[in-house]
Chain A
């Protein structure tokens, strides 16, 4: 595990490289980079549930879709400045998440996965029901990126938007990292390890799980909102269960319970998909094979493989949520 100063150095170097990328790669490659970062953020948001609470949500597309559609409606109808619109979309997504999560956390395991899937599909169906607002199967097109506040326009161009997404990803990562290392995060690791014991210790675990789901939806909604404003449209596919499945695979392949792993998983898969889809139509087959290979031979994921090279012990989520109180206090 990378600790202390070396962690900060690694983060700084990564941030530096990401900041310099627009000067290195051609403009058209920025599109795929932006999508990769957005999916990295999306996968990381699901990791809060999968990796830290062992809640396998199969409906995380709901977070993505909610964020995307909220942003689309806010930006097209209200013409609010882009940053304000995105923040509002995140808040809407979190508020909607609370009752959904409260209901879904009545159950665990497979039935939890099915309930989350059902809610995501419900959202999908509602897009066609409320055509006037959502545009039905056409979705919402021509989403603007209104300037402001203070007349800011830097995020309207592609390079500027890349930096906006990059900033959101780094900020979200630092927030999630602080969350999993906080007292709250310690309770989550208890829930993951033995929920019955955590309840017996005096924790209302359902409230913790609901709060975590709201956070996961918030970060997932941020990814969706960033995507909608970038692509300029929001379509029903964003709510579709294929999105939920893909992001779950990204989390597992990246390394659940590590935050960084799922980011890498998201980035990795967007690139693979992009490259393969240019070569062959059979890319979903290869996508699936990669997933199976990871599950069978490297269940700790990409990040686990990377850190295993540097450490005797791969970075477990427990260590991350765990004992470096001095680090958390600093």
Chain B
């Protein structure tokens, strides 16, 4: 699907922490319906870019545009309401609530009457229906009434993805969805994500360490190294890129 204007556009993003330049003049864009992976060695600034896009951190310089709107200065919750859903590198869920309640709260964020103080049965029921659908996508239906704290680590990560898709986002941002998973769990998660993304309705920005996962899922890849973009293109081109190879293999510059 061609779009005249990219869904997400980062222009000259810079973020300094004291003397450290974590993100340095990063330009990146994402067209609607595409899956872009953001990769790079440890400390390359991937998570910082993530946090700059979602407003969890404010950039030292540069701007973020979403669907043509400058969202750089918006508070975190407002960015989410524009249609950006994210997962966290360290799983963020509601441990004492059941899986369905976790996802239901996520779905409810889209409701106009989410503020309703008393009653609100219809809001809760609608949100629960969206939640059940999202749980089904992540193959978690049988855990719907299980407290999230009791799920395996792999299922907790899928639960967080279920929460994100229940937000019905225009842009889904996944921060290392397979981190800490066993090989089998990773394969399963990748398969589930692949099924989810196969219809092309979702636009995705993915941070991932595991190269195999990236090559299985992404259409485009942006490679970060020491806060800078060193490569940008389809997987085949990035795989062959000399700068990427040296960055990953730890070769000198």
Given contacts A182-B120, A184-B117, contact A201 B96 (CB under 8 A): no
6 contacts between A and B (CB under 8 A): A190-B94, A193-B95, A201-B106, A205-B77, A322-B101, A325-B125
Q: Using Cβ atoms and an 8 Å threshold, which residues of chain A touch B140?
A: none
Range, interface on chain B: 35 or more
Q: Using Cβ atoms and an 8 Å threshold, which residues of chain A touch B93?
A: 193-194, 197
Q: Using Cβ atoms and an 8 Å threshold, which residues of chain B touch A201?
A: 77, 80, 85, 105-106, 109, 163, 167
Q: Using Cβ atoms and an 8 Å threshold, which residues of chain B touch A316?
A: 96
Q: Using Cβ atoms and an 8 Å threshold, which residues of chain B touch A194?
A: 92-95
Chain B residue, CB-CB nearest to A175: B118
Chain A residue, CB-CB nearest to B124: A325
- The answer to whether B121 has its CB under 8 Å from any CB of chain A is yes
Contact B121 A325 (CB under 8 A): yes
Contact B115 A202 (CB under 8 A): no
User: Which residues in chain A, 133-179, are within 8 Å of chain B measured between CB atoms?
Assistant: 175, 178-179
Given contacts A189-B94, A325-B124, contact A203 B117 (CB under 8 A): no
Range, interface on chain A: 20 to 34
User: Which residues in chain B, 66-90, are within 8 Å of chain A measured between CB atoms?
Assistant: 75-78, 80-81, 85-86, 88
- Give the distance to chain A from B156, nearest Cβ to Cβ, in Å: 12
Give a binary string over B100-121; 1 marks a CB under 8 Å from any A CB, 0 the rest. Answer: 1100111011110111111111
Given contacts A200-B54, A325-B128, contact A189 B117 (CB under 8 A): no
- The answer to whether A79 has its CB under 8 Å from any CB of chain B is no
Q: Using Cβ atoms and an 8 Å threshold, which residues of chain B touch A197?
A: 88, 92-94
- Give the distance to chain B from A188, nearest Cβ to Cβ, in Å: 10
- The answer to whether B123 has its CB under 8 Å from any CB of chain A is yes
A183 interface neighbour in B86, B97, B108, Cβ under 8 Å: B108
**How far, in angstroms, from A190 to B163 measured CA to CA in the complex?**
12
Given contacts A182-B119, A323-B145, contact A190 B96 (CB under 8 A): no
Give a binary string over B112-146; 1 marks a CB under 8 Å from any A CB, 0 the rest. Answer: 01111111111111011000000000000000010
- The answer to whether A96 has its CB under 8 Å from any CB of chain B is no
Residue of A186, A198, A201, A318 with most chain B CB atoms under a 10 A cut-off: A201
**How far, in angstroms, from A323 to B78 measured CA to CA in the complex?**
27
**How far, in angstroms, from A179 to B115 measured CA to CA in the complex?**
10
Chain A residue, CB-CB nearest to B97: A318
Other than the known A183-B115, A322-B97, what 17 A-B pairs have Cβ atoms closer than 8 Å? A178-B119, A182-B120, A187-B105, A189-B97, A189-B105, A193-B96, A200-B80, A200-B88, A201-B105, A202-B77, A202-B80, A202-B81, A202-B109, A204-B77, A322-B101, A325-B124, A329-B121
Residue of A203, A317, A330 with most chain B CB atoms under a 10 A cut-off: A203
Contact B98 A322 (CB under 8 A): yes
Q: Using Cβ atoms and an 8 Å threshold, which residues of chain B touch A286?
A: none
Q: Using Cβ atoms and an 8 Å threshold, which residues of chain A touch B105?
A: 186-187, 189-190, 198, 201
Contact B88 A183 (CB under 8 A): no
Q: Which residues of B contact A (CB under 8 A)?
A: 54, 56, 75-78, 80-81, 85-86, 88, 92-98, 100-101, 104-106, 108-111, 113-125, 127-128, 145, 147, 163, 167
- The answer to whether A242 has its CB under 8 Å from any CB of chain B is no
- Give the distance to chain B from A275, nearest Cβ to Cβ, in Å: 36
- The answer to whether A19 has its CB under 8 Å from any CB of chain B is no
Q: Using Cβ atoms and an 8 Å threshold, which residues of chain A touch B167?
A: 201-202
Chain B residue, CB-CB nearest to A179: B117
Q: Using Cβ atoms and an 8 Å threshold, which residues of chain B touch A198?
A: 105
Contact B117 A182 (CB under 8 A): yes
Give a binary string over A243-275; 1 marks a CB under 8 Å from any B CB, 0 the rest. Answer: 000000000000000000000000000000000
Q: Using Cβ atoms and an 8 Å threshold, which residues of chain A touch B111?
A: 183
B125 interface neighbour in A196, A202, A329, Cβ under 8 Å: A329
**How far, in angstroms, from A202 to B127 measured CA to CA in the complex?**
15
A182 interface neighbour in B81, B92, B118, B125, Cβ under 8 Å: B118
**How far, in angstroms, from A205 to B77 measured CA to CA in the complex?**
9
**How far, in angstroms, from A316 to B96 measured CA to CA in the complex?**
8
Contact A182 B109 (CB under 8 A): no
Contact A328 B121 (CB under 8 A): yes
Q: Using Cβ atoms and an 8 Å threshold, which residues of chain A touch B114?
A: 183-184, 187, 203
Contact B118 A179 (CB under 8 A): yes
- The answer to whether A199 has its CB under 8 Å from any CB of chain B is yes
Q: Using Cβ atoms and an 8 Å threshold, which residues of chain A touch B115?
A: 183-184
A200 interface neighbour in B92, B117, B119, Cβ under 8 Å: B92
**How far, in angstroms, from A296 to B86 measured CA to CA in the complex?**
39
Nearest 9 pairs of A and B residues by beta carbon: A329-B121, A202-B80, A193-B94, A202-B109, A197-B92, A183-B120, A178-B118, A202-B81, A325-B124
